[in-house]
Amino acid sequence: MIHERDVIRLAGVTKDHRAVVLKISGSRAFVIWGTSVHRPDIESIAVDHLSRFGKALRLTARTYFQINHWQFVALEEVEKRKIDGHCPPELHVDLLELALRGMRFGLH
């Protein structure tokens, strides 16, 4: 079963990305995914893989969760991609606020 704050592998164009389940609504999960590519012109939250947060998310490199990296994913797909990791509550709040700002501004 999927819960808010669970960590999943989200399929990317060239590789999988770590993503955090921010909210669950009906048959979909609202997630934000990270990238190792830093874009200083895009608002983001950086998480170092050696930090407490990075270890909780099972990161392998410094990861940037950007304001435009949110999406809705079917729960059945999320369930298949769940990994052993759980986002700390304080980081979850920050990521949720970032993704909601991105959604409000139409950034995707």
For residue range 19-49, list pLDDT tens digits in order: 999 999 999 999 999 999 999 999 999 999 9
Domain boundaries, the chain: 6-104
Q: Give φ, ψ of 75 to 5 degrees.
A: -55, -35
Model confidence, pTM: 0.95
Query: Coil, strand, or helix at residue 41?
Result: coil
Consecutive H or E run containing 90: helix 89-104
- In CATH terms, 6-104 corresponds, of 2.60.40.420, 3.40.710.10, 2.30.30.110, 3.40.50.300, to 2.30.30.110
